[in-house]
Amino acid sequence: MAGGWAKDGAVSEQIEASISDELARMRSRKRPQGDSLTHCADCEEPIPEARRIAIPGVKLCIDCASDRDARPDMRGGINRRGSKDSQLK
């Protein structure tokens, strides 16, 4: 159902490519490594020993990590389509 100069299946390929890119980004996300901190890097509260053992290299307490995870991830999307409509947004 592609129109204009696009080949058949172009929309499906764009969707598949977007999904693949997002999965690759999520898999490459850095995990904590190295020595764990005894106190949170943000609020200076002590990090429980059980958390330090469970997550080697942890730098944040549970509250600060939850707050950071709740923040929206601001990143620019990729305009694969290049159509006038997608550029106007």
Q: How far is CA 61 from CA 10, 44, 71, 81, in A?
A: 46, 9, 16, 42
Query: Within a 13 Å sphere around the CA of 71, how many CA atoms are in the beta-carbon half?
Result: 8
- The pLDDT score that the predictor gives to residue 22 is 86
43: number of Cβ within 10 Å: 11
Contact yes or no for 57/32 (Cβ under 8 A) = yes
What pTM did the predictor assign?
0.48
pLDDT digits 0-9 by tens, 18-34: 898 888 887 877 666 67
**With pLDDT > 90 as the criterion, what percentage of the chain qualifies?**
19
Q: What angle do CA 12, 18, 24 make, to 5 degrees?
A: 135
- The pLDDT score that the predictor gives to residue 81 is 58
39 pLDDT tier (thresholds 50, 70, 90): very high
